[in-house]
Amino acid sequence: MKRLLLAGVALSVATAASAADLRARPYAKAAPPAAVVAAYNWSGFYIGAMGGYGWESEGDGGGGFGGGTIGYNWQLPGSQFVFGVEVDAAGASIKDSLTADIGGGVLATEELKINSFGSVTGRAGFALDAALIYAKGGFAWANRKDSLSVPALGVSLSDSQSHTGYTIGGGLEYLFTPNWSAKAEYMYTSLGSETYNLGGDVFDSGTVDFHTIKVGVNYHFR
């Protein structure tokens, strides 16, 4: 009987001690979550090379081009919005031609060719870490040549003019290393009319509208 009583007392003391121990245990506050820091920042100068294919809105012709790009981006700390300016220029062979019989089986061929073009644009984009989706637009120019040849008569005439206007479009750029990015871009360009003179035949060209799809790589200075 005494043994059972002593065992009961010992059990009660042990239980009380355990409860006191539990009440005295300090509460550990959870640590605040770590701040999320963007892994990529698009700010800074960049330079690159680009090329692609272009075609005029009227006609069935087209052709390739290649050139270079230089620009600057601003991305504010903690923001996903990126703003910038970009200048590009390219040599081109975007052309269309038409051959017609001018009488008696004599053939005449007229060729319209964009020899070069470029732009000065503003860019606005949204960065998803290494990817940048952007729109751009601004001033554009192109040098265009109009040629007329009649081989049977030994006639070969041409005139070149520089056209100015605007361009607008957008694309996607991706940083595959901290300093190198690749891009794909579509642009629509609309240029004003200019006066051409082919052997005394003076005429207005009308608006020159063309489209380009380009790919390129850029090096970003950090």
- Ordered by start, the domain boundaries in the chain are 41-220
| Beta strand extents in the chain (DSSP E only) | 44-56, 63-75, 81-101, 107-128, 131-150, 155-175, 180-191, 195-198, 201-204, 208-220
* pLDDT higher than threshold 70 for residue 46: yes
CA quadruple 122, 128, 129, 130: dihedral positive or negative? negative
Predicted pLDDT at 12: 42
Residue type, 82: V
Partners of 100 in the β-ladder: 108
- Confidence class for position 37, pLDDT limits 50, 70, 90: very low
Contact (CB, 8 A) for 125 and 134: yes
What is the CATH number that goes with domain 41-220?
2.40.160.20
Average pLDDT of the chain to the nearest whole number = 86
Identify which of 56, 90, 93, 62 has the alpha carbon closest to the alpha carbon of residue 210. 56
Tens-place pLDDT, residues 131-185? 999 999 999 999 999 999 999 888 899 999 999 999 999 999 999 999 999 999 9
Predicted pLDDT at 191: 98
Predicted pLDDT at 29: 55
CA quadruple 37, 38, 39, 42: dihedral positive or negative? negative
Angle at 52 between CA 125 and CA 169, to 5 degrees: 30
Tens-place pLDDT, residues 153-165? 888 999 999 999 9
Contact (CB, 8 A) for 149 and 140: no
**Section 59-66 average pLDDT:** 92
Residue 24, Cβ neighbours under 10 Å: how many?
A: 7
Backbone angles phi, psi at 205, to 5 degrees: -75, -25
Tell me what percent of the residues of the chain surpass a pLDDT of 90: 71
* pLDDT higher than threshold 70 for residue 38: no
Predicted pLDDT at 35: 41
Identify which of 147, 156, 159, 149 has the alpha carbon closest to the alpha carbon of residue 195. 159
Cα-based distances in Å from 210 to 25, 135, 148: 76, 18, 21
